Amino acid sequence: CNTLSLPNFILLPCDQFFNFTNSSSDAHLIFFRLLLRLDPSPTDYDDNTVELFGFQWIAETALVESCTLLFGVLRQQIYKLENLVQMNSSDLGQAVNLHSDAVSIRHQCVEFLRYVKVFIFRYLEPHKAEDDGLLHPYEELEAQLPSLLVEELHSLTLHIGHLHELPNSILGAFTIQYQAKLFPPSWHLLHLHLDIHWLVLEILHILGEKMLRQTVYAHHFMNLTGENLTNVGLFELHCGNLICDLISLSINRYTKVRPSEALVSHHYPCACIKELWILLAQLLDHRKKGSLTESFWSWVNKILNNLFERGNGMEGVPLFESLPCKDPLSFSWWIIAHLASLYQFDRNGNVEEKVSSKWNAFVKFLLLKNNVSVCQAGVLEEHLRMHLQCCLTLCHFWDSNLPTVTILWEHYSKNLNNSFTIPWFGLKGLASVSKTPLSMFDLVKNCCCDQQCPDLYKSSNSYLIFLRILAQTMEEAMRTNGLHPWKQIKGRIYYKFHRRRMQELTEVGLQNFLNLFLVLAAVAETEDVASRVLDLLDFLSPTSISTSQRALVWKGYLAFLLLYVEKNMDISVLAEKLSNAFREKAKDFLVTKNDYMQKQNLWMLLSTYIDGVQEVFETSCYLHFSQEKLLNDGFSMLLPACRGAELNTVLNFLQVVLARLR
């Protein structure tokens, strides 16, 4: 459709992603001129006459003298294009003719609405009350034009109806690929609907600006129906309907989206819809600055909330009774994450590194509903992963938000013993306990990594994604506000752990506990967190936990040592506590002779220590952080007590450490 040379957003090929900075798209230049109160098309309609629907009209008077007639012809042209859709043919020759006719009709319709915008800007003046005396008949018509325009635009929106109510045969045109610039009439009709929906908003906006933001009443309509109709009310109504339509199209797409593919499955059926979302966001936020309407996100928030409140329609928000959405919570997370990615464009088309936070509009709406759903109905792990992955995406686009973390923590603090696995993932989803201190440390480092992981849904459970959100939020909050955010968060987290709670932790729960505190130590006050962990783990008496749990505690200690070493911090306090425990177990191992099970349990702890200390020495760039405190006479007790493979393990360890110390 580029052959039309019309600067309209839908003229971009639908199989190409819209590029906001694409200089070939004149639509955005026109749109931004409109926001700046400049002539939308300064180089067009300069002649005394203008061609509309195949006839010549006087450019300065056509809309005043023939407004009703012209809008009537517009509706006839739409009807004519609808008839062409019924004549669709697979015959190439006829298809070319139908395409040509459809292009011509669409061109005429869009050209007329663009003319309306230019006419309003150039020729329309607000009517003054003192001019109500003797008026020329043309002046009377001119004074009535704003009211008549509101009526005609309202009639036009009723005529075209809702996007989501179009037949499937027309909506299916979204999937037609761009080939040889030849499209069926259904494609042109669908995109004409997009043209009209957007141009009506532009016309209403420029009308309000030209009338100095005075409310324009549709007097004739109000006298006939008794209903109130103004330019402001019509803008709000049409905007709400349009956003509802766009969301309904997204709902239809979401039904085919797997949770694991949520972030790579777009919410728009073609690039034209993506572009329309961007323009809507820019227009609504621009009007918000002048207190003319609510912000874009407030609109989205209200309409999404209406998905949860079926049957309790909110004032001014259309109901979704004809739009089934089986999982409104997951859908809301999905579409907000994708809309946030579009919202990062500024007015000049440049991508902002970090846009102002929109959490306030959604944190209570989505996260509280998420918490309620989890507690009452039980949201499946496969959906929780998707929800939190979307939440993590929003953290990348928006500023940090501590309430987000605290609401999520309220849920996970009650479910630490949960393994957060997806049954149909099989064995791949069952690894809940780290095998070595280094693997535990690497897991935590990944949680603190700012890079997006494309395979996060399968590689991490929802709790680990929560830890990513926690790490990213804390790092950004502390970077901008110092230690105050950390004091807020640590109070909420520390408060949840006491003697009884620690003794309730299973092995999986203990692993989740260690992962949490390792993340906190990595992004906040390391020594403060480590000291707290030591105090909490002291609540676990040797008789209250199993050998495997004790081994996991040692892995946690060793993971903290790896963190200290990476941060170039002295490890003496932690090292002495752990090495003393190692010495005691080595002594027990030496004196245990005939109890094979006891000896095996002791070796589980000793080998954990040996492997972990070896990792500490191998990963240390420098050896002046008290690493030597990890070596004591416990090893001299081990050598005479070990046999076979056990002895090889100890000797190999000593060889590695001596080589590193040399």
Phi and psi torsions of 132, nearest 5°: -75, 5
Q: What is the pLDDT of residue 564?
A: 96
Position 78: which residue type? I
HSE, side-chain direction, 13 A CA sphere, residue 457:
20
At 357 the pLDDT is 59
DSSP 56: E
Q: Does the pLDDT at position 315 exceed 60?
A: no
Average predicted confidence (pLDDT) for the chain: 85
Nearest to 202, CA basis, from 149, 123, 142: 149
Closest CA to 486 of 525, 516, 513, 526: 525
> Within a 10 A sphere around the Cβ of 308, how many other Cβ atoms?
14
Q: Rg of the chain's alpha carbons, rounded to an integer?
A: 34
Structure tokens at 605: 């702890």
* pLDDT (0 to 100) of residue 178: 57
Q: How far is CA 186 from the centre of its chain?
A: 32
Is 552 part of any domain? no
Residue 214, in any domain of the structure: yes
| Containing structural domain, residue 301 | 2-336
The whole-number average pLDDT for the span 623-628 is 90
pLDDT exceeds 80 at position 377: no
Task: Give a yes or no: residue 399 inside a domain.
Answer: no
Q: What is the mean pLDDT of residues 135-162?
A: 92
Say if pTM beats, i.e. exceeds, 0.95.
no
Is a pLDDT exceeding 90 seen at residue 537? yes
Closest among 197, 156, 158, 192 to 173, alpha carbons compared: 192
Last residue of a domain, one of 284, 312, 336: 336
The Cβ-side half-sphere exposure at 336, using a 13 Å CA radius, reads 34
Question: What pLDDT sits at residue 399?
Answer: 79
Is residue 22 domain-resident?
yes
Q: Residue 511 pLDDT more than 80?
A: yes
Q: What is the largest CA-CA distance in the chain?
A: 119
Question: Is residue 467 one of the residues assigned to a domain?
Answer: no
- The mean pLDDT value for 14-41 works out to 62
| Lowest mean pLDDT, pick from 445-454, 481-490, 549-558, 623-632 | 445-454
Q: In this structure, is residue 346 part of a structural domain?
A: no
Q: Among the three residues 277, 312, 336, which one is the final residue of a domain in this structure?
A: 336
What pLDDT, on the 0 to 100 scale, is given for residue 89? 63
pLDDT in tens, 82-113: 999 988 666 667 778 888 999 999 999 999 99
Q: What is the mean pLDDT of residues 481-504?
A: 93
Q: Could you give the number of structural domains in the chain?
A: 2
> pLDDT for 51-68, tens place per residue?
999 999 999 999 999 999
In a domain, residue 454? The reply is no
Q: In this structure, are residues 507 and 416 in contact, taking their beta carbons and an 8 Å threshold?
A: no
Instruction: Determine the average pLDDT of the residues in 173-184.
Output: 75
Mean pLDDT throughout 379-389?
88
**For 461-490, how does the pLDDT look when each residue is reduced to its tens digit (9 = 90+)?**
999 999 999 999 999 999 988 889 999 999
Range name among 329-333, 349-353, 588-592 with the lowest pLDDT average = 349-353
257-261 long-range contacts, CB within 8 A, separation 24+: 257/334, 259/330, 259/382, 259/383, 259/385, 259/386, 259/457, 260/382, 260/385, 260/386, 260/457, 260/458
Q: Is residue 378 in a domain? A: no
**Banded pLDDT at 12 (limits 50, 70, 90):** very low
**Phi, psi torsion values for 246, nearest 5 degrees:** -65, -40
Two structure tokens written together for 541:
């008496």
- CA atoms of 12 and 109, how far apart (whole Å): 18
Kindly state the tokens that stand for 90: 């697979």
More confident: 252 or 454: 252
Strands 55-58, 49-52: pairing kind: antiparallel
| Nearest-5° Cα angle at 200, 283 to 168 | 105
Choose the final residue of a domain: 336, 366, 382.
336
Q: How many CB atoms lie within 10 A of CB 327?
A: 17
d(CA 607, CA 582): 10
Count of alpha carbons within 13 angstroms of residue 476, beta-carbon side: 19
Q: Name 609's Cβ contacts closer than 8 Å, sequence gap at least 6.
A: 554, 558, 578, 582, 585
More confident residue, 644 or 74: 74
Choice among 25-34, 163-172, 572-581 with the minimum mean pLDDT = 25-34
Whole-angstrom distance, CA of residue 101 vs CA of residue 106: 9
